[in-house]
Structures are given as structure tokens and as C-alpha cells.
A and B are shown apart, each in its own frame.
Chain A
Amino acid sequence: MATETEHSPGEAVTARIERRWATLSIIIVGLLVGMAAYIGIHQATMPQGHVETADPKTLHLAGEFIESNLGSAVEADGSVTVRAIGQQYSFTPQCVVVPSETPVTFRATSADVVHGFLIEGTNINTMLVPGYVSALQVRFKAPGEHMMPCQEFCGIGHQGMWGKVKVVDKAAFLNMAAAKRRLTCVD
């Protein structure tokens, strides 16, 4: 910067072109980061807002991840909360049922090692790290079935860790929820 004063015209030209390119590069990068921030705000896909902890050893003894509390629950505000755990080598519930066109909150954690939580055909994709609770808010557009593989190496049986998600019509879901407080589509 400060040194290029008494040089040949050729050198001045090369330096000018180079500066233009550098400026353009900075603009490109700035634009990309800005876009990420903007979309994050306006499309509401931001990383999980809070860090929460859970003890993987005692999930089955007390708290929100005991066996009888896993599955989909209808909240007072009409939204649905799905609680699930990952363990070697399955998710419980093995089959998650959710309504379409409804705000759904997934709350999940791991009972042993690191697992992944991916619902194919959607942008739902997070990690389950033992010791911590993963929470994410989503909305399913249409009824249908999705595979839910574990996407992180979790041991020798990892390739067999596939769960399922069934998205059902909202009204049908509410009917089911009238009969039972925690819903799954297992058996």
C-alpha cells in the first residue's frame, strides 16, 4: 500500500486490477454473510437459542425423557412438542407422528453416545450430544412419510439406526390426541 509510489506504469496497472478484484471479493463475502443473517431472521431458521443439559445416565428414571413421556404431545397453545431420545441403535419413539401445518418443537437428547437426527426430505437436521438437549422448531407442510436415519457414527450398529416420521393431517392428529396424551406411530 504505502510503498508503491515510484514504480513503473505497468506495476501501477497490475496493482490497480488487483485492488479491484480484492474489493469485489470482499463484497462477495460480505453479501454472503449478510444474506445468511437476513434469511436467518426472516425465515426463522436460526440455531437453537438456548443450551440445556440432561444427564444421559438417568433419562429413564425421571424428567421429560422418561419412556412414558416420549412421543408427541399437544400443548395448550395448539402447538405440538415431540420428545425423543437416541440410543445405540434406535430412536425412541421409533416412529414419530406429527400433524401437518402445525408448529412442532422437537426436543431430543442422547442416552449414550453422539447421534444425529435427520429427517429426509426436510431441513430438520441436528446432533444429539449426550449431556445436552437439542431443540428445534419446525413445520411440516404436507402429510407423508419420511425416513429418519441417525447421521452420525454411533458405533458398529450405526447403519441400522433408521427411524420414521409420519406426517398426518392436522384433524386426524387431533382426533388421535384426544384418546392418548403421548402419541407415536409404533406398532
Chain B
Amino acid sequence: MLTNKRLILAHFWLAFIVFAVALVLGAWQMFVRSPLNAWHFNPELYYRSVTAHGSAMGYVFPTLIAMGFGYAITEASLEKPLVGRRWAWVGFLLVAVGAVVAMVPVSLGLASVLYTFYPPMIGNPFYYIGVVMVVVGSWIWVALTSINFTIWKRDNPGKPVPLPMFANVAGSYLWGWTAVGAALEILLQILPVALGFKSTIDAGLARVFFSWTLHAIVYFWLMPTYIAYYTIFPRAIGGRLYSDAMARISFILFVVVAMPIGVHHLFADPQVGAGFKFMHSAFTGLVALPTLLTVFTICASAEIASRLRGGRGAFGWITALPWSNPIMLATALSLVMLGFGGAGGLINMSYQLDASVHNTQWITGHFHLIFGGAIVIMYFAIAYDLWPHLTGRALESFGLMRAQLWLWFIGMIVTTFPWHYVGILGMPRRMAFYDYANPAISPQAFSVVVSAIGGFILLVSGILFMLVLIRGQFGTRGEAGAYRFSVPLHMPARIPVALNSFGLWLALMIGLTVVNYGFPIAQLMVLNETSVPAVYVGASR
């Protein structure tokens, strides 16, 4: 039962418009830095574009998807209208206005600091203010999700919370807490300097704060994808979810261990002690656990669907899956990319292996494969699945959808595999251009060209995606029926209170954060001599 369709649709449309713009920028970046382009251009334009691309893709796009999909889950799984509809619109407006406020200085070249901020470089204050507005807007969603969850539990004592809502709440709590790191960095450190109240900043501390957000934000991006795996995929292919309890455990594991692991982004940093690097490394290993569990559950759910359709044999059942169904295709392609990306992630997780790839193009390849690949392809699937319920019109172009998904997959592989490779060769990240004529890096030129071609394939896929959605707005009207989620194979009659509530897990999440981050942050905060002069970017000539 979706009552606030316009609210949800507004989130999705804005998300995909932002995505489309950022995708064009991304493809342009791939081109200008490749040997296909004679590199006679102002490098500032490149960094400006990277800042816009990163901020849009990292902060605005996934946040809007999580919010829009989250409201849809709240209404459809709890089967009642959203409580706090007005506030939801306020949150949406904050994100939308924040995105504009942030993008104006970026597009004027006044804040080319990349979306990871990089103090002591300091850009125009409105960039940071815009980012804060986006985050505050999303916190309204966190609060509304929690309120709707609490009200439903109060009205339905003793009943298990539907899995989609349970996962949605997990994602919102994870985000609510993980966004605190970057918020502290901006509010306590960057904004006072950007606004001129202070002129020094501790870059080391800022990096620690940012790492608090930087890793778990990936799991926040991942949440809608995992929710789609568990609650849309089995239903869409006519099967059952293998296990409801294991799904809940996976989401709980994300809440508890996704957060206190961010220091693995700082393995090579001099301001964090080696002991804390090891502790974060150990917990980073643990965060592979929910993903391994998920892969099992989803593959098992697919097998159930296939056997119900008459699939046979140890592997023969794979051919009996409904491959023409876009959701089936998207999920399979997503899992393949998750597999490759996850394997790369296990390499980044260890200090010893990370040293050979840290801040090389390997890392760029890694997170594009995970986020741009495994995660975003499921955002497409979610949109395809949800659209008829939101617009009241059928999506008819299944062939176009399949072509779009395949192109996205191929494009992402063609883009990221050469990226990984040149990373191993030592190609550094975030450079506007490279002199490929130089023999020291000329062996990388071919791979970079291939990678740029991948970027164009992705652009084509993105255009097809927008086309499908736009055609959907003008398709034939038809009642799509109630929006439903998948049903587990064995519906548990009773579930333990721990798998139906978050009190314990939130306590562990916060407790672990204090253990893993408390000391490094506290000791850098009391260290005065490491506050260094700000370096203002895009200042007047």
C-alpha cells in the first residue's frame, strides 16, 4: 500500500537526475585524462568535475535512493501511510536545496577540494554548508523511519517486524550514526576555518573523523541493494527467501561492525597508532561476514525459485532461472560485481597488501566496481520494480531494460578491470592528466583507453535507463496492485526479541565506536601543536 507516491517518486526522480548529471561528468573525466585526449587543458576543470561527481554520487544520489526506497518500504511493509509526511517533504527539500547550495561554489571553481574535503585545503563555506544540509535532510528520514517503526511495534505487540522494515531501520540507524563523523569534521573543524573564525586545522584529526564516515557510508549505499536482494529478488523470480532469521542477522552485523572499521582508510597515515590500525583491520575482516551470508542466502533463494520452475541438477537449475526478468538479470550481474569487488576489498583490508595499492587507481577501480557496479545496478532494479506502483503505468520495454543492465555490467567491468591493473602498476589517483609519452608510464596508456571506453558504455547505459523511466511516465495505465515483498521459505512463528529490535545492537555499535575511535580522536583533540595553517583553495587572485 503506497499512499505517498509523489513523495517517493520525487526522491527517485531527483536521485536519478543528479545521477545522470554526475554520470556525464564521470564519462568526461574518463575521456580527458586518457590518451584519447590531447591534454592541453586547465587541470582545475578536472578537479572541479571530480568534486561535483563525487559529491553528487557519494552524498546526494544514494541518500535520495535510500530515503525514497525507505519511505516506500515503510508504507508497503507496515501497510499503513507514513507518519510525518510533512517532515518527509522538509527532509527532501533540505537535500535538494543543500545539493544546489553545495554545487554552486563547486561549479564556480571555488571549492575544488574533492568530495573527501582534504583539509587543510579549505574551499568556499557554502560547499560544506550544502553538504551539511543534505546530511540533516537525511537525518529527518532516519528519525521518521525510527518513529514509524516504533509506532508499528507499539500497535502490534509481539508480532515480528516485517523484514524489509527491519532492514530499512537498520540502514537508517547505520547512516544516522556514521554521518556523525563527517558532520563533526565539518562543524568543528572545517566550517570555523572556512568562515574565517579560525585559520588553523588539524588535518590528521580531520582524516580520522572522515574515516568514521567514509567506510560505513559504503554500507549505507549498500543497504537498499541488500534489501532488494532479500525482499524483492526472491519474489520477483517467483521463489521464496531461504531464511528470514539469517537476513536479520546480516543486517544486524552491518549495524554493529560496519562503523568502527574506518581506520583501514588510514593504514598509511602517520597520525594513527599501529595498534588501532590492527583493531580496525580485524573488524574490517568481520564485515565480510554479512556479505558472505547474504551471497549464500540469495543463491539459495534463487535455487528454490528455479526448482519450483522445474530446474534440475547440481548446476542445471541455473539455466532454469527466469533470465529474461530484469530483476533476475540485475541481481545476478550485481552479485558477480560484488564478488570481484569484494575480493579486491579483502586485499585492501590488510595493511600488508594495501601498501602496494593504496591510493592508486586500484582503489578507484575497487569502489566503482562495488558502488557503481554492484550497488547502483540494484538501484536500477529497484526503480524498475517500483515504478509501475508509483506511476500507475506499466513499464513495457523489458528488452531495453535488459540491454541497459547488460551495458551497465559490461561498461563497469571494462572500466574497472583496467583500472585495477594500472593501479598495480602504480598509477596514482586523482590526477587531471598523465604524460603517456613518457616511457615510465606509457605501458599504462592502453589500459586507460580501454577504461575510458568503459566509461562511454556506462554513459550509454545511463541514457537508456533514463529513457526507460521517461517512457514509463507515458506508458499505458494499469493497476499494479499492492506492492509486496518476498516471503520466507519457513515463516518463523516466533522470533527472538533480539532479532526484532535494535536496542542491543545500537548499544554495541556505539560502544564499539567508542572503543575503536575514542582514544585516537581524544588524543588528537588534545594535541595542539598539530593544528596547521589552512590553505585556501579558489581564493581571489
- Is there a direct interface between A and B, measured as CB atoms under 8 Å apart in the complex? yes
> Which residues from chain A sit less than 8 Å from chain B, CB to CB?
1-3, 7-8, 10-11, 14-15, 17-18, 21-22, 25-26, 28-30, 32-33, 35-37, 39-40, 43, 45-49, 51-53, 55-57, 88, 109, 112-114, 116, 118, 120-121, 123-135, 147, 149-159
Identify the closest chain B residue to A26 (Cβ).
Answer: B289
Q: Is B154 an interface residue (CB 8 A)?
A: no
Identify the closest chain B residue to A119 (Cβ).
Answer: B426
Stretch at the interface among B172-180, B222-230, B392-400, B432-440: B432-440
**In the docked arrangement, what's the CA distance between A112 and B533, Å?**
8
Number of B interface residues at 8 Å Cβ cutoff, please give it.
73
Q: List the 3 closest pairs (A to B, CB-CB), nearest first.
A: A120-B426, A131-B530, A151-B359
**In the docked arrangement, what's the CA distance between A156 and B246, Å?**
48
Contacts of B272 in A (CB 8 A): 51
Q: Is B529 an interface residue (CB 8 A)?
A: yes
Identify the closest chain B residue to A15 (Cβ).
Answer: B243
- CB proximity of A132 to chain B, nearest CB, Å: 4
Stretch at the interface among B55-63, B70-78, B368-376, B487-495: B487-495
Q: Is B406 an interface residue (CB 8 A)?
A: no
- Within 8 Å by CB of A40, from B270, B351, B432, B533, lies B351
Secondary structure of the A side of the interface?
mixed
With A47-B351, A131-B271, A156-B47 in contact, is A112–B277 under 8 Å at CB? no
Q: Is B535 an interface residue (CB 8 A)?
A: yes
When the two chains form their complex, are residues A3 and B533 in contact, meaning their CB atoms are under 8 A apart? no
With A2-B496, A53-B529 in contact, is A132–B271 under 8 Å at CB? yes
**In the docked arrangement, what's the CA distance between A66 and B44, Å?**
31
Q: Is B151 an interface residue (CB 8 A)?
A: no
Contacts of B212 in A (CB 8 A): none
**In the docked arrangement, what's the CA distance between A153 and B529, Å?**
24
Quick one: which of A28, A43, A48, A113 has the most chain B CB within 10 A? A113
9 pairs, CB–CB < 8 Å, chain A vs chain B: A25-B292, A32-B288, A32-B350, A48-B274, A118-B360, A131-B203, A133-B270, A147-B426, A150-B428
- CB proximity of B432 to chain A, nearest CB, Å: 5
With A129-B207, A158-B430, A159-B431 in contact, is A51–B349 under 8 Å at CB? no
Quick one: which of A3, A43, A47, A121 has the most chain B CB within 10 A? A47
When the two chains form their complex, are residues A132 and B270 in contact, meaning their CB atoms are under 8 A apart? yes
Contacts of A114 in B (CB 8 A): 118, 120, 203, 207
**In the docked arrangement, what's the CA distance between A56 and B200, Å?**
12
With A120-B426, A125-B268, A131-B529 in contact, is A14–B120 under 8 Å at CB? no
